């Protein structure tokens, strides 16, 4: 069994992904509050910035050029231990063995446009993200990177959506923990 293998963890790794502005951080924060076990919310964009896991700042796109090797080295021990939420607008860089659940958040593109405008993104960045949402870019990435049974798509357009989504993930965690307990019982 390799380090960080899905079956060696006693706490799950949940990836929350989606186009910027779809609500990843909002979901992750509420999930931390409502989960039945302590979860650490890792905002990967902030981690990259705060820990210097990048090759510099791209002025044109107003974003950091991520050093993927450094990022993966930083995250590996956390993913091996589990009990984390990885919150990022892309997910294909995370090894398949890390993921127990991949949540892809979706939002109507006109609503997304407003959210990104409020955030002060330059027009070019708003347009690019809007197109990405329309073209299912993040969803396709998740589908091609992970087994289909662990990828779920959830709409994030209202507070009701937020609450329902988080409640569903809380139930998923409870079921995952029970299943893991059963497997551990069976092993001894």
Ligand X SMILES: Nc1ncnc2c1ncn2[C@@H]1O[C@H](COP(=O)(O)OP(=O)(O)O)[C@@H](O)[C@H]1O
Rounded Cα distance, 91 and 33, in Å: 23
Site string for ligand X, 9-48 (x = CB under 6 A): ---------x-xxxxxxx----------------------
Interface with ligand X (CB under 6 A), residue from 8, 62, 131, 158: 158
- By beta-carbon proximity to ligand X, the closer residue of 25 and 80 is 25
Distances (CA, A) of 89 to 19, 21, 106, 182, 183: 5, 9, 11, 34, 33
- By beta-carbon proximity to ligand X, the closer residue of 19 and 145 is 19
Describe the chain by its helix, strand, coil percentages, rounded to 5.
55, 20, 30
Compute the least distance from the CB of residue 101 to ligand X, in Å.
17
Interface with ligand X (CB under 6 A), residue from 99, 139, 156, 166: 156
Burial class (CB in 10 A: 0-12, 13-18, 19+), 82: buried
Site residues for ligand X, 72-111, by CB under 6 A, read none
Query: ∠ at Cα 39 (170, 70), nearest 5°?
Result: 125
CB atoms inside a 10 Å sphere around CB 39 = 22
Q: 148: which DSSP letter?
A: G
- By beta-carbon proximity to ligand X, the closer residue of 4 and 47 is 47
Stretch of 66-74, 122-130, 131-139, 155-163 lying at the interface with ligand X (CB under 6 A): 155-163
Determine, following the binding rule CB under 6 A, whether residue 145 of this chain makes contact with ligand X: no
Torsion sign over Cα 47, 136, 25, 81: negative
Site string for ligand X, 114-133 (x = CB under 6 A): -x------------------
Interface with ligand X (CB under 6 A), residue from 161, 170, 176, 177: 161
Rounded Cα distance, 69 and 143, in Å: 23
Burial class (CB in 10 A: 0-12, 13-18, 19+), 146: buried
Interface with ligand X (CB under 6 A), residue from 31, 162, 166, 173: 162
- By beta-carbon proximity to ligand X, the closer residue of 79 and 85 is 85
- The residues that touch ligand X, with contacts defined as CB under 6 A, are 18, 20-26, 115, 156-159, 161-162
């Amino acid at each position: 069994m390799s380090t960080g293998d899905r079956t060696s963890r006693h706490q799950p790794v949940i990836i929350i992904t989606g186009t910027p502005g779809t609500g990843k951080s909002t979901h992750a924060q509420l999930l931390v509050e409502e989960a039945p076990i302590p979860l650490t919310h890792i905002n990967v964009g902030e981690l990259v910035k705060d820990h210097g896991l990048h090759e510099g700042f791209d002025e044109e796109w107003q974003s950091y050029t991520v050093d993927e090797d450094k990022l993966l080295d930083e995250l590996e021990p956390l993913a091996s231990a589990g009990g984390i939420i990885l919150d990022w607008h892309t997910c294909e860089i995370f090894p398949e063995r890390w993921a127990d659940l991949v949540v892809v958040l979706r939002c109507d593109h006109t609503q997304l446009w407003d959210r990104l405008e409020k955030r002060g993104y330059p027009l070019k960045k708003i347009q690019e993200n809007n197109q990405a949402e329309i073209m299912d870019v993040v969803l396709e990435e998740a589908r091609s990177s992970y087994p289909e049974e662990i990828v779920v798509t959830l709409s994030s357009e209202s507070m009701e959506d937020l609450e329902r989504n988080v409640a569903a993930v809380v139930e998923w965690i409870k079921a995952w923990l029970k299943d893991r307990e059963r497997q551990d019982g069976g092993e001894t």
